[in-house]
């Protein structure tokens, strides 16, 4: 029979401290498999946050380029007229 325990903490530092403590206690009492090597599990919300952050960094370059293009087009009347003609031809 295996005992399953869940502990929630409010930040990564407290999480790491709690895991190290549990590893130490469980290893001493011989209640831990593989000396607690697989005891530590990352927070799913934190992992999703990291993935979304990386995705936003990728999008950031594209957004910056679009903003630069819009500023360029809007900075001159003739550019704006030409852009509107191109947009009309492309049916956009």
Residues 7 and 36 both lie in one domain: yes
Shared domain check, 18 and 36: yes
Q: What is the DSSP string of 11-67?
A: SHHHHHHHHHHHHHHHHHTT-SGGGGTT-----HHHHHHHHHHHHHHHHHHHHHHHH
Would residue 40 be called left, alpha or beta, if left means φ above 0 and alpha means ψ between -120 and 50 degrees?
Answer: beta
Task: Give tens-digit pLDDT for 26-85.
Answer: 777 776 667 666 666 667 777 888 899 998 888 888 889 999 999 999 998 999 999 999
Q: Are 37 and 69 contained in the same domain?
A: no
CA atoms of 61 and 63, how far apart (whole Å): 6
Do 27 and 51 share a domain, yes or no?
A: no
Q: What is the pLDDT of residue 11?
A: 77
Q: 79 and 56: one domain?
A: yes
Residues 7 and 37 in one domain: yes
Domain of 8, in residue numbers: 1-41
């Amino acid at each position: 029979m295996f005992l399953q325990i869940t502990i929630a903490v409010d930040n990564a530092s407290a999480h790491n401290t709690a895991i190290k403590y549990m590893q130490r206690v469980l290893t001493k009492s011989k209640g831990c498999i593989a000396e607690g090597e697989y005891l530590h599990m990352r927070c799913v919300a934190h992992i999703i946050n990291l993935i979304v952050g990386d995705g936003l960094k990728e999008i950031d370059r594209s957004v910056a380029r679009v903003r630069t293009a819009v500023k360029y087009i809007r900075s001159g009347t003739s550019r704006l007229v030409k852009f509107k003609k191109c947009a009309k031809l492309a049916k956009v």
